[in-house]
Structures are given as structure tokens and as C-alpha cells.
Amino acid sequence: MSDDLKENVMDTNIWLRLVFMLLFAVVFAATRVVLVAVIAVQFLWVLFTAKRNDKLLSFGSQLATFLYQVYRYLSFNTEKRPFPFDDFPSDEALLDDNEAEDEVVVAAEEAPAVEPEIVAEAEVVEEKKPAPKRKPRKPAAKKEAEEEKPADSEPEISSEEKKD
């Protein structure tokens, strides 16, 4: 073994991280179950009251942020260990969709008005031409019969052509 490989295998920090990763993998699975329960209860709450429960919204946001932090740790995107080694995420950690939309509306209202550009020439869109129609194929039996006829033989004349 090379010295680098031997040094990496003997590094206690990597093995300690494995222990934490296994622990957080179990916590991750359990927290997902709790989050699904929060989602179900929130759905039922809205179904029967037509309003969202603010406490469930806050708790769901905290759980989602916590799961995100655990996921980042498990996937080696960060060395920062999530709760209980750090503070539990606040409910303000993730923006609500409605708040984000409100910010966009406010920003749009504050932006100066812009005159639309006038297009001098209209764009011409090429129309697709339909594919040319193909002649229908002859059945194999007729093809073989035509191939067997000698080239010197006269073509058959229909009864209408004989009258003329």
C-alpha cells in the first residue's frame, strides 16, 4: 500500500465521520416519517377548516430545513454537523413561496417602466410541407407474377381497351 492510502485508512476523523453518517442516516429516515405525518395532518386541517395551521407550517419548514442539512452532511457537501451538534433550524430558514412571490411583486413595482421594443419586420415561420405521397406497394404475389412474365410478351389489354 502507498503511504497516502495507509494514512487515509488510519485517519480516525474519517472513521468518526462514518459513525456520524450512520447515525444521521437513521435520524434522516425517522425525520422523513415525521414530515410525512405533518404533511398529512396539514392536508386534513386545510380540508376541514379551509385554512393552513401556522404552527404546522413552521414545524414543517423546520423539519424540511433539518432534512436538507442532514442530506448535505451525508453527501459530503458540508463538514458542519446538523442538530444536535448545531442549532435546530428556525422556521425562517426557508422562504415561504407566498413571501417570495410578494418580494418579486414589490421589486417589479419599484422597477422603472420600460417601453416595449417595436419589431420592424415580422418573423417568417416556414411551414412544413407534407411528405410526398408514396405509391402503394404491390403484394408479393403480384410482384412475383410480373417478374415471371417475359419482357417480349404483350401487355394484357382490358375489355374496355379492346372495344376501341
pLDDT winner (highest mean) among 15-24, 35-44, 136-145: 35-44
Q: How far is the C-alpha of 50 from the C-alpha of 159, rounded, in Å?
A: 83
Q: How far is the C-alpha of 115 from the C-alpha of 124, rounded, in Å?
A: 24
Contact 69, 58 (CB under 8 A): no
Q: Give residue 42's identity as a one-letter amino acid code.
A: Q
pLDDT for 3 beyond 90: no
20 CB neighbour count, 10 Å cutoff: 14
pLDDT of 157 reads: 62
Looking at per-residue confidence, does 92 or 23 come out higher? 23
Predicted model pTM: 0.53
Question: 85-141: per-residue pLDDT in tens?
Answer: 777 888 765 555 555 555 555 555 565 555 555 555 545 555 556 665 666 566 555
* H/E segment holding residue 77: none
